[in-house]
Structure 1
């Protein structure tokens, strides 16, 4: 079976095209940004707060922009409508595990991302149920469960027989 990150990429592929503008809300090691770039999209805008991750970035593609800012501030960096957004919440493997996404800023980032998403655009959230991640996931799910059903289609995919495995929430902004 594919990993949840790979499945989230498959969920996003239908909205990726040569004019697509994509956001990697949690850059980390850059795998999601590289995925977008490999799909031949127009632009990838990424966000990262950890200096080690920013310094380790080796992506030189001119279509790529790495902002040294929290994802909750994405609206300060993005003016155009977005085709695809991915968030891989939690901490970055290989870096300081005490530095992790927080539910407050993550909920803000998801809300701002939804406001920037174009009609038929998609957002993928990969969530991890470690202790802090569980709280973050619960808060995000609670917020998403209150979104207008006529504006957003939201799915959740998890492994039923693996209680503590990562899972995905996929969102598509409906046409008006």
Structure 2
């Protein structure tokens, strides 16, 4: 079986094309940004709060299509001023790094709200959640928020392993074609 990150990439793929503008809201080691680049997108905005991780990942990626910010993803609306085709979040902490530095429920929900406003019609957002001890409350808050989204404006789906407690899972959101603010 594929990992939830791989499933998230499959979910996002229909929104990707050579003119696509994407957001990796949790850059980390760059797996999602590398995926976007492998799909031939035009531009990727990436957010990472840990300077050393951001610098190491950008050296590894070395691609002028990536514009990275050492800021929290909740600030995206102050840095991105164009419609987004696809966006991904991997909540929690950066693998092989300090687990005490992790995403927080309040700023994560705020970032999702701002991201949905930036998303184009038919644009897609993938939320990969890891309900480990510190991430359970965050996952609950995110689920509560996305469940409140209007079904006439958004399609929201969930993909998870039902027979393993606390396994990572994916929430996929697509902004509907007829969306009007």
TM-score bracket, shorter-length normalisation: over 0.9
Partner residue, 1:114:
116
Q: TM-score, normalised by structure 2?
A: 0.96
Return 12-21 or 50-59, whichever deviates more. Answer: 50-59
Secondary structure of the residue aligned to 2:134 is helix
Aligned length: 176
Partner residue, 2:74:
72
Instruction: Select which of 164, 167, 170 maps to 1:162.
Output: 164
Distance 2:28 2:64 in 1: 19
Q: TM-score, normalised by structure 1?
A: 0.98
CA deviation profile, 1:26-77 (whole Å, cap 9, x unmatched): 0000110000000000000000001221121222211111111100000011
Task: Give every structure 1 segment of 4 or more consecutive aligned residues whose post-TM-superposition deviation is greater than 6 Å.
Answer: none
Return 67-76 or 52-61, whichever deviates more. Answer: 52-61
CA deviation profile, 1:85-113 (whole Å, cap 9, x unmatched): 00000000111110000000000000000
Q: Aligned ranges for residues 34-113 of structure 1 at < 5 Å?
A: 34-57=34-57, 58=59, 59-113=61-115
Distance 1:95 1:132 in 2: 15
Distance 1:55 1:4 in 2: 26
Partner residue, 1:6:
6
Partner residue, 1:152:
154
- Gaps spanning 5+ residues in structure 2: where? none
Secondary structure of the residue aligned to 2:85 is strand
2:15 is the alignment partner of 1:15: yes
Pairwise CA RMSD? 0.6
Secondary structure of the residue aligned to 1:26 is coil
- Gaps spanning 5+ residues in structure 1: where? none
